[in-house]
Structure 1
Amino acid sequence: MTYKNLDTRKWELDKTTVRLRYARTMISGIFFSHAVEYNSLRVNNVLIFGLGGGVINNYLSTMPGQKLNITIVDIDPVMKKIAEKWYGFKETDMHRIIVEDGVEFIKKASDHGVVIVNVITPKDFTEEAIRMLFCFKRNDPWGKDPELLHDQVLRMDRALGFHLKDGGNYQASDKD
């Protein structure tokens, strides 16, 4: 680091990596729940409630080997402005932010079809992961078996290159 590159406002955001444990688990969950097909050029729709820092949608929007139609719903218009100014968000035909109350969005969406949602809270997950919401296809065995779910989380985590190990601690690693 030099004086010339000390100003972090000028740093380019790397959307191809995820360092937050919770975000990594959510991204893995999108694929192991079969909500989205991994390594598929078929268009998959992804709906995210709450933009936060934009880590999840930024990563998904730059993922090679995927065609993801990403919609983020956030109640706060300031979050969209922050995402555009500081996190490199650019709206496209396949990546958008809708400023609206998530509950109202769901009410409107339910007029067009129903989503089956299971809440998974296995005891061996971290506190952040316990609060996660997973969407599964009807009768998916992972929704009923926490050990099977945990094993699948590890498999998908490795496939994505995150390498979840050691009781829930994420480590960058080239090995299994």
Structure 2
Amino acid sequence: MLHKLFSYFIPINIYKKKSSISETIEVTWNNGELVIDSKNTNYSYGSLQRILRKGLKYIGFERIKKFDNVLLLGVAGGSVIKTLVEEIKFKGKITGVEIDPAMIEVANTYFKLNEIPNLNIVIDDAFEFVLKTKETYDLIIIDVFQDTTMPNFLFEDFFINRVNFLLRKDGFILFNTMVINDGNRERNLNYKNKFNGNYSLRMYPKVETHNELFTIKKLH
């Protein structure tokens, strides 16, 4: 494919869509990879897939393979789902929550998310979904961005406590955050301090420059 070949020299945009939520969604060949970008950041595949793959590796692929129920808050193009299904060979249930239907439309067209049998996509706000769901989960992946900013609710006690309640004992939260200024750094330190001895928390700073990952295990 010529697009793929030429993309090693220069990124080649093949699709662009306006979205009321994500502003612009672009599908681009970049260094031989098909990626989804918003106006200012990579939304799926490319660097984001590498970041979340590292987080899953920190938790442990073999451990994840034995889980039954995974919740993903913020699907975008679904690159972390591809890692779960294709690389880890996860056979359990995956629920993906995405607020932007235009993003899912692009993900289905270019990355065939709708062909993954153990995946259920819910178009909803992440905050609303965690309030409503009656299920509990072995792994909760939080990857919620509006371009380069993160909604404040992710760091508020009510949301944190609700997510912790939905997490099964010995389950994990994988939280992808962006740190681009001192305010973000302080926000993340405050977040870290919200977890007591019932949890084992690890921070992984400077993953792909601006991202900081948290893995949080529920001990009790």
TM class, shorter-length: 0.5 to 0.7
Q: Where does residue 127 of structure 1 map in the other structure? A: 179
| CA distance, structure 2, for counterparts of residue 72 and residue 55 of structure 1 | 11
1:88 counterpart residue number = 112
CA distance in 2, matches of 1:14, 1:77: 20
Could you tell me how far apart the structure 2 residues matched to 1:45 and 1:93 are? 14
Q: Tell me, in whole angstroms, the C-alpha distance in 1 between the residues paired with 2:123 and 2:163.
A: 21
- What's the TM-score once normalised by structure 2's chain length? 0.44
**1:49 maps to which residue?**
73
Correspondence for 2:61: 38
Letter in 2 for 1:63: E
Deviation at 1:24, TM superposition (A): 2.7
SS, match of residue 114 in structure 2: coil
Aligned partners of 1:116 and 1:138 also within 8 Å: no
- CA drift of 1:26 comes to 2.6
Give the CA deviation at 1:53: 2.4
* Partner deviation per Cα, 1:75-123 (whole Å, 9 max, x = no partner): 22222211111122124441121112222211112x55653188989xx
- The residue number in structure 2 matching 1:173 is none
Aligned match of 1:106:
130
User: 2:165 aligned with 1:139, yes or no?
Assistant: no
Match of 2:103 among 79, 82, 87: 79
Q: Structure 1 residues 138, 120: closer, same or farther in 2, change over 3 A?
A: farther
Aligned residues: 138
The structure with the greater share of residues assigned to strand is 2
Task: Give the letter aligned to residue 140 of structure 1.
Answer: Y
Asked whether 1:116 is paired with 2:168, we answer: no
State the secondary structure of the residue aligned to 1:73. Answer: strand
Paired residue secondary structure (2:127): helix
Matched, 1:19 2:67: no
Task: Report the Cα offset of residue 65 of structure 1.
Answer: 4.5
Q: Which has the higher contact order (CA 8 A, sep 6+)?
A: 1
The two structures have a TM-score, normalised by structure 1, of 0.52
CA RMSD of aligned residues (A): 4.6
User: Gapped runs of 5+ residues in structure 1?
Assistant: 144-148, 155-166, 171-176
